[in-house]
Amino acid sequence: MVFTELMDMVEATFGSEVLENMIDGAQLPHGGAYTAVGSYPHGEIVKLVQALSECTGIAVPDLVKAFGSYMFGRFHEMYGRFFSDVHHAFDFLASVETYVHQEVRKLYPDAELPTFETYQPDPGCLVMVYRSKRGFGDLAEGLVIGAIQHFDEKITLTREDFEDAQGKATRFTLQQH
């Protein structure tokens, strides 16, 4: 699904010519044909985003964050049940690992999902720790930004990339105003 959504976002944002140039520039073995239910190597999406960066002149991290924000909107459209009775970004983000990812695993048992550990040191602050072997902290940041925008809340987001005994991770701290 991530691959087809990237294609849709690129076409909607930059046009079909940029989409074609991105696919050609990525030099993928199968020519960039994806389905929403297929499973594809992570390296292919990296090649696509690098090729998109070359086509647009926009830095890869900025493109990945923009894609994450776009994906949040698409998740809301496609999986509205995840958002029923949720009215605040903190509540939704805190439920990603315990509710959303459980439901995604039911739909896509082979999905290799990242993990999100969350805790609230005080009522106006949420801390999320993102871990993934793919290291897509920029995508996670974009998804968090998308959530903040969706719920239209005044929240400051800070990010810290770090490494600990479990490996590389990204900590997002969300502070309400």
- Residue 176: pLDDT over 70: yes
**What is the model's pLDDT at position 121?**
95
Place of tokens 């995840």: 82
Count, residues in the chain: 177
pLDDT digits (tens, 9 = 90+) for 40-50: 888 899 999 99
Mean pLDDT confidence for 159-176: 94
CA angle 106, 68, 113 (to 5 degrees): 30
Report residue 172 as tokens: 């997002």
Ordered strands of the 115-122 beta sheet: 115-122, 125-131, 167-176, 155-164
d(CA 166, CA 100): 23
d(CA 9, CA 35): 15
Q: From residue 85, how far is each of 53, 76, 88, 92, 93 by CA, in Å?
A: 38, 13, 9, 10, 13
d(CA 83, CA 75): 10
pLDDT digits (tens, 9 = 90+) for 87-141: 999 999 998 877 666 766 676 677 777 889 999 999 999 999 999 888 889 999 9
Report residue 66 as tokens: 């923009």
Q: How many CB atoms lie within 10 A of CB 18?
A: 17
**What is the model's pLDDT at position 82?**
78
d(CA 131, CA 110): 18
- Residue 55: pLDDT over 90: yes
Report residue 19 as tokens: 């989409």
pLDDT digits (tens, 9 = 90+) for 2-48: 888 999 999 999 999 999 999 999 998 877 788 777 778 888 999 99
Q: Annotate 46-78 with b (16+ C-beta within 10 A) or e (fewer).
A: ebbbebbbebbeeeeeebbbbbbbbbbebbeee
**What is the model's pLDDT at position 17?**
97
